[in-house]
Chains A and B, each alone.
Chain A
Amino acid sequence: MAAPSLRQASVAAPLGVARLLAGVRDDNRPVALRDHAGLYGPLEHVGAELISILEESRLRGRGGGAFPTGRKLAAVTGERGRPVVVVNAAEGEPASSKDRALLRLVPHLVLDGAAAAAVAIGAREIIIALARGHRDERAALVGALKERRDKVRWSVKTVPDGFVVGEETALLNALSGKAPKPTVKPPYPFERGLGGAPTLVQNAETLAHVALIARFGARWFRSVGIEAEPGTALVSLSGAVRRPGVYEVELGTRVSELIQEAGGATEALSAFLVGGYFGGWTRDPAHPLTAAGGLGAGVVIAFPAASCGVRESARVTRYLANETAGQCGPCVHGLAALASGLEEIAAPGRTPDRRVQLARWAQQVTARGACRHPDGAARFVASTLAVFEDEFSLHLHKGRCSGQDRGVLPVGSRR
């Protein structure tokens, strides 16, 4: 299939892996529009053909769902009514910081992507949804919007802090002044979203990629990464590494390469959590960072051997149980039961081995909620049971713990 013709970009496309983060200032202040345009060139709107360019780029959503971005835009245009664009920057996952980093450091990249997507689907209104606690990001956005002259109506709105708020339908409910809880699908937001309009909800990082694909094309995007999953992705790396932070990696990069990029581990590691609290554990340093490999919204945590995976995971499971929207029985009761089961094992002293029951519950709650919250939590628990087998044995049979709860896995407190 031939690539739709693109106007010649006036500036050379970034080579290598630093794409989204290529222009980040040393003082970490937001990149001004002039400097942004100087680095990437001005954004020439490519109109509706952006949709096929995105399809050809094979860009997938970077908010965790990995849905093909081009197909999502196309779906919105297939509906009746003028569409609306919502930039999802709620970033409720405690260990994730990449969307906030983009908004603080390179806000125009996200805004360019949102504007390009809006033009492509015929939207005139763009709503940027930020969590209440994200004040610096809000300030950076408001400043950046003052520099722009787009033919769209922008608004920056705050939604409550919380894990489930970033789920598309929960986000739209929050923006409509309703409780920030998911609703059953269908209808999907692309069919009936904000005020009943077909609504394109895109993660902030996804839109930053759109901004560059709109300039440099699908082939450029695909020139890094792997065949099945081209491009780069932002990773929020934390845990026992010398330089934790947000990294831009080629998809397919191995966990060990990322850790090396971050200056290496600061102590012996026992496992890596890939994909955050909807993801899973691996002990394999060669594990590839891909959506198929469970990268989700791009969280990687290097877990030190001196902390106890059972105790920390029990704490996270309780957090996820508390973060349920409280609407669906299997999620409300199932996640609470999973948390209690893990807490019982994690507590001092020997306990009966109920791992088979926990694994069964994890399987049972999967796909039985209005959203994927139970699925994600169940995946995390199942993976904890599988990967920390030795640590579990020590707790169950000897009543001892291999380490302590060092608090490596953060559980956000609501602001």
Chain B
Amino acid sequence: MKKLHVDPIACDGHGLCAELFPEWIELDDWGYPIINPAPVPPGLEAHADRAIKECPKVALRFVVERANGPVKR
């Protein structure tokens, strides 16, 4: 199960991610991404990959949910 995660300290609100992956990411009133917490469906992973790659602050990444315990980077 892959979920998208943004590093809130690194993120500067460029907003590219929401442009590249609007199905999963919207921007708040100040231009910072609000990410759908659900796992990204396999069919949309290519969009997610592009958003991750294009983030100018390298703030976006996939996290893999483990069965027990916190998320692993």
Contact = CB atoms under 8 A, between A and B. Distances in A.
Interface of A: 183-184, 186, 188, 327-331, 333-334, 337, 361, 364, 368-370
Contacts of B11: 328-329
The B interface is mostly helix, strand or loop, or mixed, namely loop
Interface residues of B, number: 15
B73 A186 contact: yes
B9 A327 contact: yes
**Nearest 8 Cβ contacts at the A-B interface:** A333-B30, A328-B8, A329-B32, A327-B9, A329-B13, A370-B9, A330-B32, A370-B8
Contacts of B34: 364, 368
B9 A334 contact: no
Contacts of B8: 184, 327-331, 368-370
Given A183-B9, A184-B8, A368-B8, A330 B70 contact: no
Interface string B2-16: 000001110111000
B29, B34, B71: which has the most chain A beta carbons within 10 Å?
B29
Interface in B16-73: 28-32, 34, 70-71, 73
Interface of B: 7-9, 11-13, 28-32, 34, 70-71, 73
Contacts of B12: 329
Contacts of B31: 329
Contacts of A330: 8, 28, 30, 32
A328 B33 CA distance: 11
A370 B9 CA distance: 7
A328 B32 CA distance: 9
Contact of B32 (A183, A337, A368): A368
10 contacts: A183-B9, A184-B7, A328-B8, A328-B11, A330-B32, A333-B32, A334-B30, A369-B8, A370-B7, A370-B8
Nearest to B35: A368
Nearest to A181: B9
Contacts of A368: 8, 32, 34
Contacts of A184: 7-9
Contacts of B73: 186
Given A184-B9, A328-B8, A330-B8, 6 more contacts: A329-B11, A329-B30, A333-B32, A334-B30, A337-B29, A364-B29
B73 to A, nearest CB: 7
B7 A334 contact: no
A334 B70 contact: no
Contacts of A183: 9
Nearest to A368: B8
Contacts of A333: 29-30, 32
B30 to A, nearest CB: 4
Contacts of B29: 333, 337, 361, 364
A186 B71 contact: yes
A183 B32 CA distance: 18
Contacts of B28: 330, 334, 364
